[in-house]
Amino acid sequence: MKRIGVFVCHCGINIAGTVDVKKVVETLKGYSGIVHAEDYMFVCSEPGQALIRDTIKQKQLDAIVVAACSPSLHEATFRRVAQDAGLNPYQCEMANIREQCSWVHQADKEGATQKAVRIVRSLVEAVRYNEDLEPITVPVTRRAVVVGAGIAGIKAALDIADAGHEVLLIERNPSIGGRMIQLSETFPTLDCSQCILTPKMVAASRHPKIKILTYHEVVEISGFVGNFKVKLLKKPRYVKEGTCNLCNKCIEVCPVVVPSEFDMGLAWRKAIYLPFPQAVPSVFTLDEKSCLGLDPIRCGKCAEVCTPKAIDFDMGPEVFEVEAGAVVVATGFDLYPMSKLGEYGGEKYEDVINGLEFERILSASGPTGGQVRRPSDGRVPKDVVFIQCAGSRDPENHMPYCSKICCMYTAKHAMLYKHRVHDGNAHVFYIDVRTGGKDFEEFYQRAVEEDRVNYIRGKVSKVFKQGDKIVVWGVDTLSGKKVEVKADLVVLALPLVPSAGTEELFRKLRLSTNKHGFIQEAHPKLRPVEHPNSGFYLAGVAQGPKDIPEAVAQASGAAGKVGALFSAAELLREPTTAEVNDLCDGCAFCVDPCPVQAVTLVEYARDGEMKKKVEVNQALCLGCGVCMATCPKKGIAVRNFTADRFLSMVDAMLTD
């Protein structure tokens, strides 16, 4: 029988404040196989670890159970301690008596103490069954796939490539650049967004280690950290890159006019188009949805005038597969739909617009060349109302969270408006102004003091049209007085939401998100750029609302993590994978349920007869146990997670 040692941690008062630690130790002392049990104030401290190491040697222990916090925090610590003392690291288990016991039963000390005993006993049963295991080594493909080419994706790609690794930068739109390329000037420095972004776009396009795949989408990702297979869809542009010389003749003859996505519908483009002058790659795209018809060809004028014969109506979608060791998700954001903000006139009135539309109006490359003119009649607005938190921080009707950047971009909008329209009035309705960032408070103060922006603390109660004015009613909660502004233009600071289509993408890739669809980090404080699924990293607003400096910092963090992953000669994987035994008769029930297709049915000869059984690809297996749960004959089990082990654990948990 294994000689098992148990070490029960007080964790200060985190555990000992609720659980009677001494009583747990005394109760466990008589339990089968336990040859040593003791408590200690902080077992994770250096002296605590030394105590465990020394006791393993002195008492010749075969296995240990550390009763403390969650294994997700300290399992690696104690497995290393066990290994240093000469044990196989899998002869160490952690019993979680903090998160799963003391923290949740603070009102019932007696009950918590009894539960702690049961939890520890069940882990003693577990470790009794544990076999010595050795990690599995797998090679690493030193190529990263970055999904989404806004500023976060571009920065992550550049940093990974600068570290010497290949990068595939995947963007679903015809050009890289994301939302930042649409912005006019950026807070808190008011530098021109395009001027600071386009050098990065060009650097990415020229980098020998970066391959940019625009107009591409991810269809599927299979495999595991270091060894992913990424299936990509190349959408047809109907224009041959490298042959098109941007002569513009096709654009001149194309009879179709549709709203420009880049200009947020405030200007027009043709069915064949370049999204914006600095687009990367600089190649036209024929948008098949707005073209008059490609099959059969109903117009074909672009092909007729195209001298270098760059138009190819026969192009079709292509699906192909690439290998990669790591995936950075940087799919960014959209704005919450205006149509959902009818109470603020969203999509009811032409002169109620969103923040990105106002960015295009302010932009020198925008539809009005940077002059502030309202969409309905092109007049210069003399009174502009900006409504902050229009849909954010509104759990009853819209989104409960703070979108983080709108206080700052509204201050910027009001300021830039005043710089363009000197005799104009900017009114900002706000709940409170959040300026948590370097130089942000000073920026906001400039808007109030130098540019005389009229900040009104209060919620807007009604927005309605009166003649050619948009009337905004609210209450100033500082003075208690009703406020009415007869505005020419209203700008809504809408919530940031995950990009359209990402919910489906993340579901397909089995990437967890929070309840609002922003991709989940492995730990909110300690692992903010990693996803819980190994090999996936996060950057930018895909993870949650943030400004450009934060998106860039996170992208560099994700790139650093990818670099660290790629620096290893080979990867070590957990050996707790599925193993087939002699009870398997090849019924193949387990083959289809395996989420990573690690199980295959094989035939073999025995005693002159052909037999069947399944085999498990150890490099692919996640150790999830789905196969084990579906097998009716106990023919497949995850190492150190056998059914007998589980049953013993349950018995120990239920026995008084």
Q: Count the alpha carbons within 13 Å of 205 in the hemisphere toward its beta carbon.
A: 16
130 binds, among ligand SF4, ligand FAD, none (CB under 5 to 8 A by kind): none
Report yes or no: 170 and 567 within 8 Å, Cβ to Cβ: no
Task: State the minimum distance, in angstroms, from the CB of residue 288 to ligand SF4.
Answer: 9
Closest CA to 389 of 436, 489, 458, 439: 458
Alpha carbon 134 to its chain centroid, in Å, reads 32
Using a 10 angstrom Cβ sphere, with 0-12 exposed, 13-18 middle and 19 or more buried, the burial of residue 353 is buried
Q: What 3-state DSSP class applies to 272?
A: strand
Which amino acid, one-letter code, is at 631?
Answer: C
Q: Do residues 344 and 460 touch, judged by C-beta distance below 8 A? A: yes
Burial of 420 (0-12, 13-18, 19+ CB in 10 A): middle
* Minimal distance, residue 77 CB to ligand SF4, in Å: 26
From candidates 104, 257, 292, 650, binder to ligand SF4 by CB under 6 A: 292
Q: How far is the CB of 248 from ligand FAD (least distance, A)?
A: 25
Query: Near ligand SF4 by CB under 6 A, which window of 123-131, 335-343, 479-487, 615-623?
Result: 615-623
Query: Is residue 584 near ligand SF4 by the rule CB under 6 A?
Result: no
Rule CB under 6 A: is residue 511 a binding residue for ligand SF4? no
Distance, CA of 124 to CA of 31 (rounded, Å): 9
Residue selected from 35, 51, 258, 299 as contacting ligand SF4 according to rule CB under 6 A: 299
Q: Report the partner that residue 179 touches, choosing among ligand SF4, ligand FAD, none (CB closer than 5 to 8 A by kind).
A: ligand FAD
* Residue 541 contact, options ligand FAD, ligand SF4, none, Cβ 5-8 Å cut-off depending on partner type: ligand FAD
Nearer to ligand SF4 among residue 343 and residue 574 (C-beta): 574
Which of ligand SF4, ligand FAD, none has residue 637 at its interface (CB below 5 to 8 Å by kind)? none
Site of tokens 């102004």: 433
Residue carrying structure tokens 């900006």: 386
Q: How far is the CB of 443 from ligand FAD (least distance, A)?
A: 10
DSSP class of 522: S
**What's the CA gap between 649 and 651, in Å, rounded?**
5
Closest distance between ligand FAD and the C-beta of residue 172, in Å?
Answer: 4
Kindly indicate which of the ranges 43-51, 147-155, 277-285, 300-308 contains the residues binding ligand SF4, using the contact rule CB under 6 A: 300-308
Q: Which of residues 585-614 bind ligand SF4 (CB under 6 A)?
A: 594, 596, 598-599
The vertex-452 CA angle with 186 and 182, nearest 5°, equals 20
Q: Which residue ranges make up the site for ligand FAD (CB under 6 A)?
A: 147-153, 170-173, 178-180, 183, 186-187, 217-218, 330-333, 355-356, 359, 405, 409, 412, 499, 501-502, 505, 540-541, 546-549, 551
Q: Which of 236, 300, 337, 370 lies at the binding interface for ligand SF4 (CB under 6 A)?
A: 300
Strand residues in 131-275 grouped as ranges (E): 136-138, 143-147, 166-171, 185-186, 191-192, 210-214, 216-224, 227-234, 257-259, 268-270, 272-273
Instruction: Work out whether 460 is an interface residue with ligand SF4 (CB under 6 A).
Output: no
Q: Where are the alpha helices (DSSP H) in 450-542?
A: 502-508
Question: Minimum distance from CB of 367 to ligand SF4 (Å)?
Answer: 21
315 touches, from ligand SF4, ligand FAD, none (C-beta below 5 to 8 Å by class): none
Binding mask 226-265 for ligand SF4 (x = CB under 6 A): ------------------------x--xxxx---------
| Binding test (CB under 6 A) with ligand SF4, winner from 6, 25, 272, 519 | 272
Q: Which of ligand SF4, ligand FAD, none does residue 138 bind (CB under 5 to 8 Å by kind)?
A: none
Considering CB distances under 5 to 8 angstroms, the limit depending on partner class, which of ligand SF4, ligand FAD, none binds residue 476?
none
Compute the distance between CA of residue 103 and CA of residue 19 in angstroms, rounded to an integer. 10
Q: Show the 3-state SS of 281-301.
A: CCCCEECCCCCCCECCECCCH
The contact mask relative to ligand SF4 for 541-580 (x = CB under 6 A, - = no) is ------------------------------------xx--
- Closest to ligand FAD by CB, 284 vs 409, is 409
Check: CB of residue 340 under 8 Å from CB of residue 390.
no
The burial class, CB within 10 Å (0-12 / 13-18 / 19+), for 370 is middle
Give me the least distance between CB of 234 and ligand FAD, in Å please.
12
Q: Are 194 and 181 in contact (CB under 8 A)?
A: yes
Which positions touch ligand SF4 (CB under 6 A)? 250, 253-256, 271-272, 286, 291-292, 299-302, 577-578, 594, 596, 598-599, 616, 621-627, 638
